[in-house]
Chains A and B, each alone.
Chain A
Amino acid sequence: ELKVEQNPLFLSMQEGKNYTIYCNYSTTSDRLYWYRQDPGKSLESLFVLLSNGAVKQEGRLMASLDTKARLSTLHITAAVHDLSATYFCAVPYFGAGSYQLTFGKGTKLSVIP
């Protein structure tokens, strides 16, 4: 059974600080996805990491994937309040002819002034 674990689950950080969210998964996968969810809203795709060593950056967020370690990181640089949201990582698997994602429990990020 595929398990996806994120840590921390809750993160409160000051504006301007840096931090990293970690996503570990239990079975082999060559890709991983990051999503953002604002309070009361749906999930928005942030990054698609498609190979070992993949690195994607957008604004103050940078995601990377190490498939050998089964680890992805989401690094936040110089946090701003607008980044406050819940961030999910997700790992795909093919089951019974269908393509599915298993999600971590999410990291709720609060950026405080």
Chain B
Amino acid sequence: SQTIHQWPATLVQPVGSPLSLECTVEGTSNPNLYWYRQAAGRGLQLLFYSVGIGQISSEVPQNLSASRPQDRQFILSSKKLLLSDSGFYLCAWSVLRSGNTIYFGEGSWLTVV
């Protein structure tokens, strides 16, 4: 069965510091991968998606970036965090087959102070 792991689960970072969130998927190959953000009390915003290694599309301009160095690895980064980057970050995956459900990781809580 497929599983998705995301880490770290929680982090508190000062403004201007770098960020790296990592996500890996097991049990499937060539998945679509996604990074979503959920600000406190708000809906989900798609930040990045990837259809393959090295292929990243950005949905929203910001100081975040994403990379996919391996088929089942997706990384969210920032060189300098802003206060507005605080939120709940969710990695997700899907494969193009019947149902096409998108499955979410456990999430990472980021607080920028």
* A interface, CB within 8 angstroms of B: 31, 33, 35, 40-45, 48, 50, 88, 90, 92, 96-106
Contacts and interface: CB of A to CB of B under 8 A. Distances in A.
Given A31-B100, A100-B34, A100-B49, A41 B43 contact: no
Interface string B19-52: 0000000000000101000000011101001110
B85 interface: no
Nearest to A45: B101
B70 interface: no
A48 B107 contact: no
B111 interface: no
Given A41-B107, A48-B101, A105 B51 contact: no
A76 B106 CA distance: 26
B105 A33 contact: no
